[in-house]
Amino acid sequence: MIIDTEVHVIYRMFPRELDPERSLVEPWTWHELSGDLLVAEMDRAGVDKAFLISYGAEDLPLMIEGVGRSSEEFISGKKYHKAFFRKYPERFYWFATVPNPRRADCLETLQKDFEEGATGIKIFPAQINMNLNEPKLLEVVNLARKNDKRVMLGLEEATEKTPPLMSLLQQLDSEVLSQFSDVHFQVNHGGCIDPLSSEADAVFRMARRHDNLFLSTAFLGYVTMERGYAEDRHEYPFPTQLKRLKRLYEMVGPDKLMFGTDWPWVEDCRKYIQDVDSVRKHADFMSAKDQEKFLGLNAMRYLG
Ligand SMILES: [Zn+2]
């Protein structure tokens, strides 16, 4: 069983009609990266299921502003994601991005998402400019707990205008994960700290301390779009990513890490199957048993 713990669908991004300077090698500028295409890529790569995280421009203001774009240049959203979740219920688990918890209808929106089949929620604390220990956000986590749902966190895009990354990690480690020890949390991009840097100790310690924490591993070291994404670009088998994965694996062990691709964000430079093969054929630092855990069994425990 192979489970990809981070994917999205995008109708169009930086469309050529608005951005004629963009290159044709960026597929989103001229065609759809749909759930149909994603399922075809999953079939070719032998991936059984994926965590489909729904978001649109309203959920990612910092990312879009950070690259000097406007919301009309990123066309996707909950409705679009849900259409494919409904079409392929046996292939996707749906995670709904949490709207700004300061909105009066936030909890009501999420309750409806749960009733419509969401497996869990995705929180981007930087995008909503909130600390993880703020009462409004804890109410959201509590709602997930009451509904027996999973929580996913994207700590990327933290800048000087948002709560800093190290504070978010600290809040997670010392408050949130213990307060909600019965809720399973997934932190994406390995916590957004380069595992080869000394700051990564914070992530290693946190992962070892909390049984309810899992780390998804798409683009390890990714902090903000502006500072670079997927450094290996098209250099198969993505040696920097593998080096970081190896370090993380050595520091947190085989039971915490989950495979993720973040498709289709780097469709301009690599194919989906290569991200899977990079692990299957080149992560030789993992035993066959640990590779099975990484590619799917840990995700099944997270879903538990
Ligand atoms: Zn993502």
Give 87 Cα–ligand 1 centroid separation in angstroms.
21
Give 56 Cα–ligand 1 centroid separation in angstroms.
12
CATH number of the domain that residue 106 is part of: 3.20.20.140
Using CA atoms, how far residue 192 sits from 45, 126, 145, 157, 258, in Å, is 26, 12, 25, 9, 14
Can you name the residues that pair with 3 across neighbouring β-strands?
49
Give 5 Cα–ligand 1 centroid separation in angstroms.
9
CA pair distance 110, 105, nearest whole angstrom? 9
Give 219 Cα–ligand 1 centroid separation in angstroms.
9
Give 156 Cα–ligand 1 centroid separation in angstroms.
10
Q: Would you state the pLDDT for residue 230?
A: 86
Q: Would you state the pLDDT for residue 167?
A: 97
- What is the extent of the structural domain holding 148? 3-303
Give per-residue pLDDT as tens, 129-153.
999 999 999 999 999 999 999 999 9
Give 77 Cα–ligand 1 centroid separation in angstroms.
13
Q: Would you state the pLDDT for residue 65?
A: 86
Give 143 Cα–ligand 1 centroid separation in angstroms.
23
Tokens of 90: 């046996």
Can you name the residues that pair with 23 across neighbouring β-strands?
none
Give per-residue pLDDT as tens, 92-101.
999 999 999 9
Q: Would you state the pLDDT for residue 228?
A: 74
Q: Would you state the pLDDT for residue 153?
A: 98
Using CA atoms, how far residue 290 sits from 211, 218, 225, 261, in Å, is 17, 18, 31, 18
Give 78 Cα–ligand 1 centroid separation in angstroms.
14
Total structural domains within the chain: 1
Give 250 Cα–ligand 1 centroid separation in angstroms.
24
Question: Looking at the whole model, is its pTM more than 0.85?
Answer: yes
At residue 23, φ and ψ (nearest 5 deg) are -80, 150
Give 8 Cα–ligand 1 centroid separation in angstroms.
7
Ordered mean pLDDT values, 10 residues apiece, the chain (304 residues): 98 95 96 98 98 96 88 97 98 97 97 98 96 98 98 92 95 98 98 96 98 97 81 95 98 98 96 98 98 98 97
Give 19 Cα–ligand 1 centroid separation in angstroms.
23
Q: Would you state the pLDDT for residue 160?
A: 85
Conformational region of residue 107, where left means phi above 0, alpha means psi within -120 to 50, and beta covers everything else:
alpha
Is residue 19 a contact partner of residue 64, using CB atoms and an 8 Å limit? no
Tokens of 259: 């495979």
Conformational region of residue 190, where left means phi above 0, alpha means psi within -120 to 50, and beta covers everything else:
left
Give 120 Cα–ligand 1 centroid separation in angstroms.
15
Give 262 Cα–ligand 1 centroid separation in angstroms.
5
